[in-house]
Amino acid sequence: MTVQRYLPRLRAPYRPGADAPSPYAEVVRAGERIYLSAQGGAGEDGKVGAPGDASAQTNAALDRLEMALTAAGASLADITKLTTSIIDRAHRKDVYGTINRRLRNVYPVSTGLIVAGLPAPEMVVQIDAEAISPAAVTAAVRRYRSYDYPNWHGQNFSWQGCMVAAGASELFVRGQTGTKLDGTGMVGSGRQPEDAAAQADLALSNLRVLLTEAGSGLEEVAKITVYISDRAYRGAVYPMIGKHFRGIHPVSTGIIVQAFARPEILFELDVTTLSKVSGQPHTRLRRYHSRNVRYGTEQQPLDCDFCMAVRAGDRVILRGQTGTDLNEVLKGPGDARAQAQQAMANVGVLLDEAGAKLSDIVKATVFVTDRAFLPGVCDVVLSQLGGANAAFSALIVKGLASPELLMEVDITAVVGGAP
């Protein structure tokens, strides 16, 4: 597959006043699929304008996304998914109202997070977008269960979206919570682990329904990203994931965030769903059961079938990699940079086993648990990419699967996609 990488950038928001060790691309195109670097209002110099102004920063982020999409031969109308991260729920009206005005009649699927921090302290919003721009001879993106709410869940802004956006080779699903599909209410109204379990169970049941309606199924899910608002919910949420994904073995990333769009939401699930290639099941490498592995230094009583890498056609998606090596030994306790070095060493091995290489990476996303860790971790990841010019995103989060884990990196590659 031909991979095109556009708009290389050295001055990153996480490193004000200095270049990153290696460039990353604002946008990467692989066939119809477009991978974008997250945008938060930082200009070419990495500096953020309009401190504290959520509307202005959202407009600036969308301007840069539009510029990147144009470079790849696409437009804002081709956006299929938005992951919008803000630092305070109070910004939702300004952020989402602005997005809705700029993306009228686009109907993206969306996930909304409240995070501990963004790459630059001045940033109040960051938008991570996905897009598909089909060739003229192929079918347009199909959008299922589109909706247009004039007052989104009573939060005083209008919002257009859909539940599933399906291209020829990938389906994008709105982040699933404990909210009923008809929008009439949600389960798990308390803040106990059993409430998080109830929300996860409904979210996964909803996911099954939505994928079936779009002609897909759980067996085509390559990756799950699990967001929770408290580590105490892990032991309740993951058995529900295990129940619904028994025997499927997706790769996974687990993130603890500050909060979600509404206070009653304790759990949100994102999935990467890739269509089978020539009817063949995805290749799932290094399968394991979660009870039998360490998260940080200890095992956790979870009950899930996962794997370390999924390959579907030309695409390879890895489990979120941390400072735990492939023999389950944590390297660099208390040292985020050392953990990042180990994580990227894992990435190299796993890509090789899947028939790919570091230069095939099209998107890297970094999570750290403290702003102090961000420059060192991002520098390690970008330097290890060796000038591949992948799209790049970063977030500061409340926590990861274990307190000892200080960073995690998500990786997507397209085989044959070297620059």
- Kindly list the averaged pLDDT for each block of 10 residues, start to end, along the chain of length 419: 92 90 95 96 86 94 97 96 97 96 96 97 97 77 93 83 95 96 90 96 98 97 98 96 97 97 96 94 95 80 94 97 96 97 98 96 98 97 91 98 97 82
**What is the secondary structure of 101-155 as a DSSP string?**
HHTTTT--EEEEEE-SB-SSTT--EEEEEEEE---TTSPPPEEES-EEESSGGGS
Of 226, 224, 107, residue with least CA distance to 165: 107
The pLDDT, as a whole number, for residue 156 is 83
Of 121, 56, 54, residue with least CA distance to 89: 54
What is the set of domains in the chain, with CATH numbers?
33-168 (3.30.1330.40), 170-276+278-308 (3.30.1330.40), 313-419 (3.30.1330.40)
Pairing of strands 267-274, 294-295: unpaired
Contacts of 402 (CB under 8 A, 6+ apart): 295, 296, 297, 298, 300
The pLDDT, as a whole number, for residue 136 is 54
Contacts of 45 (CB under 8 A, 6+ apart): 11
Q: In what order do the strands lie in the sheet with 109-114?
A: 3-9, 24-30, 33-36, 125-132, 79-86, 109-114, 259-260
Dihedral sign computed on CA atoms, order 216, 219, 225, 228? positive
Of 143, 41, 132, residue with least CA distance to 85: 41
Cα–chain center distance at 362:
13
Amino acid at 90: A
The pLDDT, as a whole number, for residue 137 is 47
The pLDDT, as a whole number, for residue 41 is 86
Burial class for 372, CB neighbours closer than 10 Å (0-12, 13-18, 19+): exposed
Instruction: Report the C-alpha gap between 214 and 169 in whole angstroms.
Output: 12
CB 69 within 8 A of CB 102: no
Strand partners, 176: 269
The pLDDT, as a whole number, for residue 42 is 87
The pLDDT, as a whole number, for residue 300 is 80
Tell me which residue has tokens 């990756």. Answer: 223
Strand partners, 147: 161
Of 138, 125, 156, 112, residue with least CA distance to 38: 125
The pLDDT, as a whole number, for residue 150 is 85
Strand partners, 395: 367
Instruction: Report the C-alpha gap between 172 and 207 in whole angstroms.
Output: 11
Rg (CA), the chain: 19
| Phi and psi angles of residue 212, each rounded to the nearest 5 degrees, phi first | -60, -45
Instruction: Report the C-alpha gap between 181 and 408 in whole angstroms.
Output: 31
Instruction: Report the C-alpha gap between 162 and 167 in whole angstroms.
Output: 14
Tell me which residue has tokens 């306790």. Answer: 333
The pLDDT, as a whole number, for residue 37 is 98
Of 94, 101, 113, residue with least CA distance to 229: 113
Tell me which residue has tokens 């953990």. Answer: 339
